[in-house]
Amino acid sequence: MRYLIGIGTYMGLDDSIGLRIAEEVAARGLDRGFRAIELPGNLLDLLHYFGPDTADMLVVDSARMGLAPGEYRFFLPDDVVTRKSLEGISTHEGDLMKVFELARELSVTVPPVTLMGIEPATIVPEMGLSRALEERFGEYLAAAAGFFGAERAR
């Protein structure tokens, strides 16, 4: 199975971008050859999608990368150095890189994962998206849904 997994929180303005993309991919029926999943809240739930039956995974989230608001990049987890200073792992505060680390420590099969990071303009406790991300939403949607194209078939 292949998964497009959107993470974030709906109550975080641009932090909701991953969730909104997964939601819209499913609503428009763009999830051909993969399954779109919204994963708000507890990042440990991502472990349910790890395992030998998962062929490929795209995780979509807001990411502070030092780019202009609205810019996006695809990258691998090994390309990321987390700046969060969390001790251990918690269901109340998430660090995606710690979830990958925990999976390896538990000998859980981590599938091939690519991250689609979208530089947020604003992360505040509000619903919706900033204008910068709203204006480019169609572009993100096409990039995320197109990720699993024929050239990625394994």
Inter-residue contact 58 to 147 (CB < 8 Å): yes
Each residue's pLDDT tens digit, 14-27:
999 999 999 999 99
Question: Closest Cα to residue 42, out of 98, 87, 1, 3?
Answer: 98
pTM: 0.90
In sequence order, what are the residues at sequence separation of 6 or more whose Cβ sits closer than 8 angstroms to the Cβ of residue 46?
A: 5, 7, 39, 59, 96, 99
Whether 97 and 79 have beta carbons less than 8 Å apart is answered as no
* Token representation of residue 11: 């109550």
Task: Name the β-bridge partners of 18.
Answer: none
Average pLDDT over residues 97-103: 89
Cα 131 to Cα 89: distance, rounded to the nearest angstrom: 33
Q: Which domains does the chain have, with CATH numbers?
A: 2-152 (3.40.50.1450)
pLDDT digits (tens, 9 = 90+) for 131-152: 999 999 999 999 999 999 854 5
